[in-house]
Amino acid sequence: MLALVLSTLLGACRPTPPLEGGPWRLEGSETLGAVQVEASGFRSHRTRVRLAQAGLLTQGWVEAQVEPEPEGITWLRFPARTPLGEAWVSMRLQGRQAMLPMGAREGEHELTMSFLPAPQDEANLDEARLDEAERLALQQLEERAAAWAAGAFLLQEADGTVVGELRLRPDEPAFLAVFDRLWWTEGVVLSDRLDQGPEIILTFPVEPSLRGEDGQIRLNVPLMAAVVPADARPTDFDRHLRLVPGAMDEEARQQARQRARDAADQAEREALIALGKRLAVRSPDEDGRCRSWKEIDPQLEDLLVGYQVQIEPDELGRCRTRFEPVTPQHRRRLSMVVGAQGAIDELADHRP
């Protein structure tokens, strides 16, 4: 079940109901909404919500369940439409601000809004604005629903560079291919699929896989966004991509894959030359013996995983660094010899 969260702190001690009066106005750069509390009998109240966002829509007023918590926190739970159908939404309100997390991981895909009393003399204006926001949101939601039904997407960087393709439909296996200087699949691969709230998590074989690890990507259905996670929790090292409906033709696909290989090889080449020079310079001990990289800096182990690295003297006794990939793969394709002045020889480019 899709669960999204929105936050507001309403002060220390609130009598029943937790939200009083209204209407309350919800407004952010991508979201517009309102909350209305009305008396519906002796000591009872009815709370309604209206919300319009490209990936989430109530389509008019819907009744909400109100669940107060300590320290003035109030939760509202109500039904809404998403690109994949109906879902229950959880909104948490705090103070005069609102926060609508649209993802499955806490702290990710959060939309911030204000939560303020709406002036009574602007009620008609607010209804008109909500009508227009709802019309636009419905159009966007239907476009996204059609895209998910078709199940063909491009993975795009913010600058528009395509770094992968997806083929998936609701409740069906997912296939994908990824290709840029950072990651690579040998053609299209089948992924394991896990649906988690508003997200679809795909796990698949990928290169480089230096310790047998798989690749993973999290697809956010309402926002048409993708995250390549660096950890179980969101971090600054996560990679954020866009999901764009469509597919590449074969010529464009081959060109993109060639650019990806060339960029990865160039990045690997530059990294090996820089590291090899540094090791060759630091390697000689007082007796002129070439020390191993572990003697120079044992913390390089993570950086060098996937390579066999030897530091050896040349015919003149000068230290030089030799790199050989253990298992040739993306970003581990080059065999090189590097001296204190730079690359001496590129022995091989292990491409399949």
Confidence (pLDDT) at 170? 75
Q: What is the pTM of this model?
A: 0.85
| The Cα angle at residue 263 between residues 261 and 266, in degrees rounded to 5 | 105
pLDDT at 343: 73
pLDDT confidence of residue 7: 33
Task: Give me the residues of the chain with pLDDT under 50, please.
Answer: 1-17
Q: Residue 9: its pLDDT value, please?
A: 27
Q: What is the pLDDT of residues 159-185, one digit of tens each?
A: 999 999 999 987 788 999 999 999 999
Question: Per residue in 238-249, pLDDT tens?
Answer: 999 999 999 999
pLDDT of residue 53: 92
Structure confidence at residue 310 (pLDDT)? 96
